[in-house]
Amino acid sequence: MNLNNASIDDVLTKFFGSPNFEKKEIIQSLWSGYGEIARYRFTSQSLANNYGNRQFIVKHITPPNEVMHPRGWASSVSHQRKLDSYQIEVNFYKHWAKLCNDNCLVPTFLGECSFTKSEQASQLILMSDLDCQGFQARATVLSLQQIKLCIRWLAHFHARFLSHSKSLSCEGLWPIGSYWHLSTRQDEWQVMPESSLKVKAAQIDKLLNNCEYKTIIHGDAKVTNFCFTRDYSDVAAVDFQYVGSGVGVKDLIYLIGSCLTERDCETSFSKLVNEYFELLEQALCLYQPHLDPILVTKEWRSLVDLAWADFERFLVGWAPNHQKRNQFSQNITQRALSNI
């Protein structure tokens, strides 16, 4: 749907064929001022019945005229990457989300709209509200038991889309999933100080991207992109801007680094990696009975340290003083480099 010189309310009224809705609250702003995510409420029971719930979510993308990046990485390259990411998120919700199930739950896609207001292009992504589906809790840190919920989600998501192919077909998604992969982060690589990690960055990237078994990865699987039930018995995931082809352990290491302290990583990293692979093998038997799960886990286990080093490479260039760059992350990186 394309409309010119329209307000959001005009666009939504056209989309739903009714003005019986209201904006309840802004949930959050999008990165670098590219818009907002808001919760809306149907004021008509018939509309609520038609769309399954009383509330729905609107992701409103409206790129700023002047891009201001929190860490100074404002460029035409990063701007285009963000614009591409929103369209890829639409593609995921439109074509791939319906293939997920309760073990890797995601919001239901309701629709998309494009319009202009005062010559400024805008895009709306409409989806179900996970709060209405029982996933009201959010977290920034997790206990070891709670992180296992997210690991279970990743294992099922990765198993669901896994393929024995070096060129996994994931039409409409990123050819290489994750927001930090090397080909889209050349500026950050250039400013890295000379080091073994910088020299071997391309080799690490090649090893990760040329694996035999690929899947669709979330690409930004940090703790804040997971929604939990109040009792932390179940989990769902959101924010699929960087979803695409890749090796599942990229999501795994990013998740662990996003919500555990350095001490927890030191004491529990190996246990959590083992948990992931146990769950992955079970899920592969469920979704991919024609594949040998042992071969998959053998290959992906060999890439765990490399996946961590790959993200470390990004941080060294993008934000060298980031809190995630602790002694544990540097030790894993050195272990990966010594094994290449």
pTM for the model stands at 0.93
Q: At what angle do helices 249-259 and 144-161 cross, to 10 degrees?
A: 160
| Beta carbons within 8 Å of 177's beta carbon, 6+ residues apart | 216, 217, 218, 219, 242, 243, 244, 245, 246, 250
Kindly report, residue by residue over 230-286, the tens digit of the pLDDT: 999 999 999 999 999 999 999 999 999 998 989 999 999 999 999 999 999 999 999
- pLDDT band, very low/low/confident/very high, at 5 (cuts 50, 70, 90): low
Q: Which residue has the higher pLDDT, 83 or 224?
A: 224
Residue ranges of E strands in the chain:
2-4, 21-29, 35-42, 55-61, 109-117, 120-128, 163-164, 213-217, 226-228, 235-237, 244-246
> For the segment 71-106, what is each residue's pLDDT rounded down to a tens digit?
554 567 778 888 899 999 999 999 999 999 999 999
